[in-house]
Amino acid sequence: QVQLVESGGDSVEAGGSLRLSCVASGDFYTRFPYRFCMGWFRRAEGKAREGIALLWTGGGRPSYADSVQGRFAVSHDYPKNSVYLQMGSLKPEETAMYYCAAYYAPEGHCSLQSDFTWWGQGTQVTVSS
């Protein structure tokens, strides 16, 4: 199937930057590495989960939630089967557990509102004021 492992979470001061990584593995993923929608989500304590960034491993432009547009950037490294989330100008209210997720989409048309099939365990980001 597909396994996702996030890393890179840390404690930073407001205004700081972090880069999160998500490594995908598993037989199904390695057979079709260009056919997955990959999303980044976060859940702050006491709040609903929020989808913040999305890309299709087959190419095209990533998309972002309004809350992170212009400050975050998602990218894909094919040889490393990795998806990265570069975060800048971080705010204390963005303290949350950040998750990588994926679903199989051979023709793209990705959406953060779709049902993501596979999830990582999450990585904690803490932003202090």
Provide the residue count of the chain: 129
DSSP E strand boundaries for the chain: 3-7, 11-13, 18-25, 36-43, 50-56, 63-64, 72-77, 82-87, 96-104, 118-119, 123-128
Which of 11, 8, 28 lies closest to 84, judged by CA?
8
pLDDT of residue 67: 97
SS3 for 18? Answer: strand
- Over the stretch 5-51, which tens digit does the pLDDT of each residue have? 999 999 999 999 999 999 999 999 999 999 999 999 999 999 999 99
- Predicted local distance difference test score (pLDDT) of residue 4: 98
Say if CB 29 and CB 35 are below 8 A apart: no
Q: How far is CA 87 from CA 74, 75, 103, in A?
A: 9, 12, 23
